[in-house]
């Protein structure tokens, strides 16, 4: 009989997987206080927002929630909600210029519903860290 010319192919051995990046410590929620009708993020909060952007770049799955509040009266409730929205949008836009997709930033413009905290503030926290 003719010699057997069957050849067997084998897959190369699996490459070792890179170790996962070290887990970053949990980032506590950030509260930013605003003066009056200001919409720009105060200067002291800029560095913290930069740190949030870097963390979000390092982990593409992180989502940020922004809850924004503004003081007002029952007669100016609509304006207070608009002001709280303008503050939150300014922060989301700043994160966007740092390369963070707007779809990863949830905004809750709550107007005068301060819930016992300072009336003119913005709270930011990660939803899934």
The residue ranking higher by pLDDT, 95 or 12, is 95
Residues 6 or more apart whose CB falls under 8 angstroms from that of 69 comprise: 84, 110, 111, 112, 113, 114, 115, 117, 118, 119, 120, 121, 122
Residues 6 or more apart whose CB falls under 8 angstroms from that of 127 comprise: 63, 64, 65, 106
Structure letter (DSSP) for residue 98: T
- Does the pTM surpass 0.95? The reply is no
HSE-CB at 88 with a 13 A cutoff on CA atoms is 25
% of the chain surpassing 90 pLDDT:
58
User: Where does the pLDDT of residue 86 fall: very low under 50, low under 70, confident under 90, or very high at 90 and above?
Assistant: very high
């Amino acid at each position: 009989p003719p010699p057997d010319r069957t050849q067997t192919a084998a897959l190369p051995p699996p490459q070792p997987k890179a170790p996962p990046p070290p887990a970053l410590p949990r980032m506590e929620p950030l509260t930013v206080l605003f003066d009056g009708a200001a919409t720009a993020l105060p200067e002291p909060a800029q560095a913290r927002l930069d740190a949030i952007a870097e963390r979000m770049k390092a982990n593409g799955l992180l989502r940020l929630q922004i809850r924004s509040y503004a003081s007002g009266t029952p007669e100016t409730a609509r304006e207070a909600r608009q002001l709280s929205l303008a503050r939150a949008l300014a922060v989301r836009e700043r994160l966007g210029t740092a390369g963070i997709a707007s779809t990863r930033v949830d905004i809750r413009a709550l107007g005068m519903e301060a819930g016992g905290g300072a009336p003119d503030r913005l709270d930011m926290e990660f939803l899934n860290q």
